[in-house]
Structure 1
Amino acid sequence: MHKQDVKNRISGHSSLVAFWDFQEPAGELRQAQGPYGYVLSEQEGPIERAEEGVFGPYSAKLRFGQWLNLPRAACPALDFHGKDTALTIIAWVKREQRDNRECQAVAGMWNETDKKRQYCLFLDLHIWESADQVCGHVSSTGGPTPGHPWCMTTAIGATPVAQGEWHTVAFTYDGAYARTYLDGRLDVRETYNPYAYPEGLYAGGAAGADFTVGAVYRSGAMGNFFAGHLGGLAVFNRALGDDELAQLV
């Protein structure tokens, strides 16, 4: 499907919360389209506007160590929590080839340091014998999984996300299952995708996690950096179905 058609489907979707297409030049705030014009601010210097895009001629090129931040108090519609909550995050990414094997956070409300985890779309989590796949992290407690040093509750696909290529990665949660998608299809993996999780999502309250893009707060500092191009990011307040996601590639 032509990307303008995809953009129109996203912008006109009844469940859209916010959609960023990253056409702004370096040094400017990135403002969302849709019912909530939430603004992402650059962290660790201006984020380059690369002349290679998905929903226009440009994309944001995050260097390792950069990320975008949206304060929690400024984005109440992104505070998904409770047992009946539902969401979808879709990102259009081009991973950068690098030696660092740290897992990469794409977007979510996920603060490991203060045990304020809620939800986050990741790549390359190194748990459950995984690497390089799309991951949808969910937590009902905010802290690590009992018996483990980290949170282990996550949907993880089967297919590695290639570096140096554009891919559409997505994560949904419907209150019962977390699911991950690669290029518009459910990337089925026994036990882990779909991942049964009826516990719901942690309610962080006023002191909960910010919405961050390209990194999360962990071990007392920002980390789990995504490095590469970000061509688009969309968040919905419903778990989109397989057919819907196939139309948004």
Structure 2
Amino acid sequence: MLTSLRYSTLVNLRSTDALATPSTAAVSLLLAPLLNAGLVTAISFSVNAPELRISAQAAVVASIVATTIAQVASQAAMDRMRKVVADVSPYGLLRMGLWSGKAVVGLISGLATAVFLVLVLTLTGHGDSTLVIAALAAPFVCLPGAIAAAMLSLPRKDPFAFATIATWIIPVTSGTVVSIQQYPNALGFIAHALPGTWTIQGLRHEIPLHSAFVLELVVGITWLLGGGLTLGRAERRYRSGATDVLPM
């Protein structure tokens, strides 16, 4: 089991374009999330958002969540583009070995981003223990949602859609600039069903942090079940001859 996980992780690390060289890894895991968090913080400042420090911390956590999801989903997208999905589909696309390596790479990516951004915020005088806990836990509690995004990416005509969407939508929906409690009811309901929202509510001390992590896992596992069912259905239809549901 551990040997298989190690092999799968190494394969995914070596085949991930964003981690292909030290410079691309630095841009993907450090510079891009830093710019993303900086942009949200700048927006918060420009609109005179209350508690700018909390907004900056929330932007950091949102960037960590987005990075974790984008890295896992983009690995699945690259597998399809490189015909890996076509090669392994006869053996089943819901096997643990296919996803375990992607999950580990996603965790490594998210934790690298978390350590860097927390360090930056701490050095600038905006860090605290709650931020450290939320930031380091975020890649773990959002991992089921990241795997779900990867599963949902495979049957799409554009397999990179979820990786791209995660980068831009999570900072908007998770309550970075203002609290999610100030969102309109419909938008707030949708936001609570997306990754990152509960963790940031915990960061804002609106709910206990441990409760936020549990709710984040519930959201992620729900998406994971949906992603597994969707991919399984697409795989069955593909095997029966439908070429439009799992384009290779």
- Tell me if both proteins adopt one fold, taking TM over 0.5 as the criterion: no
Structure with a larger share of its residues in strand: 1
Q: Give me the TM-score of the superposition, normalised by structure 2.
A: 0.29
Structure with a larger share of its residues in helix: 2
Q: Give me the TM-score of the superposition, normalised by structure 1.
A: 0.29
Larger-gyration structure (1/2):
2
